[in-house]
Structure 1
Amino acid sequence: MKRKSIYLIRHGETDLNRKGVVQGSGVNSPLNEFGEAQATAFYNAYQHVPFDKIYTSDLQRTHQTVRGFIKQGIPHESYSGLNEISWGIREGKEPNIGDGNYYRELVAAWKNGQVELASEEGESPVQVRERQIPVIEKILSRPHERNILVAMHGRAMRVLLTVLFKQPLVRMDDYEHSNLCLYKINYSYDTQEFELELSNDITHLLSLEIPQTF
């Protein structure tokens, strides 16, 4: 049976994550010190896996998250199709009541089935799904890549997981995530089905001391 193991991770922490600032695809923030520690912890836990390829978004926080594996010489490709959703004109702004209410109402609308609704000057979940599908198809067209590492972003991961498991986008929020969590997914080329082995796993981070918030 031909299989592919996909190690899907969210990027490590950034200062904006810590502050509760929405980043989206338009804010290209770097990992902070704790995010770098998370990346090191993940590398230490999974450096033994014989990865054939690394896939990331175009944003630097995903590249930095897998830097240790890239330094091993593992081939790496980045795709804008794996970028975070664009949250539009409110990206990168300090948290405030007005924007907080806007985001809550937008996510509630998505849960109620309005998945074609985009944020102001941003994207809808349907648009994110449409740009992810060609990347998924490319990844699956390479059966010789038996173990792959994919680094991306929270909301984009939620969209991707509904695509892989053939679920409606209203189920996005069933998939919890945290910085540098792992979803391990196995794909069978015989059945063309995905199987979830690990979900939002952070056991590789348990030795880290969580720093004080801002």
Structure 2
Amino acid sequence: MKTIYFVRHGETNWNKEGRYQGITDIPLNEKGLAQAVACRDALANVHFDRIISSDLSRALVTAETIRGDRHIDIVTTSGLREVNFGDWETLTIDEIEEKWPGQIFEMYRRPEKIQLPNGESFEEVGERAWALLQAFIEAVEEDETILVTCHGGTIRTLICKLLHLPVSYSWNFSQGNTGINRIFYNGMGEDDHNILNLLNDTKHADVLDMK
């Protein structure tokens, strides 16, 4: 059995402002950096054998922070980037609703049916992210533990894939900044059974909000 930890990146200013950043490379803000440090401390006792990250800086810096003094190379890839929101990037929900009435809410209700204008569908995100991650997982020895740092939308589609759920369930899984998810991976065959053991654990980040 292999163990996969998925961690969403820390907060950015666009997260704070409610702007869709997608593949736009927005750095972590001060709070996001603090969240990454808190996440590092929460995972301090976990032995990671390999780390793979989206190449966008908000995910990569999160990965580097969690790695700490572990001597592990971080594999970076564009295949784990966030959903390409196309014409919606930089915009807020209200701005999107004004220009494309009803479409943003349709994306949340039926992500499998929406093709984002000049962007991606959730099906496309799931296919490209899973193709990349599957190849990485297959190259890993049994009983190894993998850290994957990327983005909320990407993680949602990967959880669906690993649990043999349609991508229409993507928004059923909350993903807060530096939320920790853990899956026990046994394979993708008909008789294999992957287990979602931990979902969106943000206790380490929630404590920061109370200070």
Same fold (TM over 0.5): yes
Q: 2: distance between equivalents of 1:15 and 1:210?
A: 19
Match of residue 16 from structure 2: 18
Q: 2: distance between equivalents of 1:67 and 1:141?
A: 23
Q: 1: distance between equivalents of 2:151 and 2:49?
A: 21
Match of residue 196 from structure 1: 196
Work out which of the residue numbers 89, 92, 109 in structure 2 matches 1:91: 89
Amino acid across the alignment from 1:172: S
Identify unmatched segments of 5+ residues in structure 2: none
Match of residue 139 from structure 1: 136
Q: 1: distance between equivalents of 2:93 and 2:120?
A: 21
Work out which of the residue numbers 35, 55, 79 in structure 2 matches 1:38: 35
Amino acid across the alignment from 1:12: G
- Is the contact between residue 12 and residue 180 of structure 1 (CA under 8 Å) also seen in structure 2? yes
Give the SS at the match of 2:200.
strand
Work out which of the residue numbers 154, 157, 160 in structure 1 matches 2:158: 160
Amino acid across the alignment from 1:174: N
TM-score, scaled to structure 1? 0.87
Q: 2: distance between equivalents of 1:43 and 1:109?
A: 33
Q: What do you get for the CA RMSD once the two structures are aligned?
A: 2.2
Q: 1: distance between equivalents of 2:104 and 2:85?
A: 10
Q: 1: distance between equivalents of 2:78 and 2:137?
A: 17
- Is the contact between residue 21 and residue 92 of structure 1 (CA under 8 Å) also seen in structure 2? yes
How many residue pairs match? The answer is 206
Work out which of the residue numbers 147, 167, 170 in structure 1 matches 2:168: 170
What's the offset of the Cα at 1:89?
1.6
Match of residue 209 from structure 1: 209
What's the offset of the Cα at 1:116?
5.0
What's the offset of the Cα at 1:151?
0.6
Give the SS at the match of 2:181.
strand
Amino acid across the alignment from 1:60: S
Decide which moves more: 161-170 or 98-107: 98-107
Q: Does 1:121 align with 2:118?
A: yes
Return structure 1 stretches of 4+ with deviation > 6 angstroms.
Answer: none
Q: 2: distance between equivalents of 1:39 and 1:49?
A: 15
Q: 2: distance between equivalents of 1:106 and 1:165?
A: 26
Query: Are residues 105 and 96 of structure 1, via their aligned partners in 2, closer, same or farther at CA, if it must alter by over 3 Å?
Result: closer
Identify unmatched segments of 5+ residues in structure 1: none
Match of residue 61 from structure 1: 58
Once the two structures are superposed, residues 126-157 of structure 1 have per-residue CA deviations (whole angstroms, 9 ceiling, x without a partner) of: 11112112212213213426111111111111
Q: 2: distance between equivalents of 1:153 and 1:206?
A: 19
Work out which of the residue numbers 40, 61, 77 in structure 2 matches 1:79: 77
What's the offset of the Cα at 1:193?
2.5
Q: 2: distance between equivalents of 1:104 and 1:9?
A: 30
Q: 1: distance between equivalents of 2:61 and 2:21?
A: 16
TM-score, scaled to structure 2? 0.88
Q: 2: distance between equivalents of 1:13 and 1:168?
A: 28
Once the two structures are superposed, residues 82-111 of structure 1 have per-residue CA deviations (whole angstroms, 9 ceiling, x without a partner) of: 100000022013x36341454862452563
- Is the contact between residue 129 and residue 159 of structure 1 (CA under 8 Å) also seen in structure 2? yes
Query: Are residues 121 and 176 of structure 1, via their aligned partners in 2, closer, same or farther at CA, if it must alter by over 3 Å?
Result: same
Q: 2: distance between equivalents of 1:163 and 1:18?
A: 29
Q: 2: distance between equivalents of 1:162 and 1:186?
A: 14
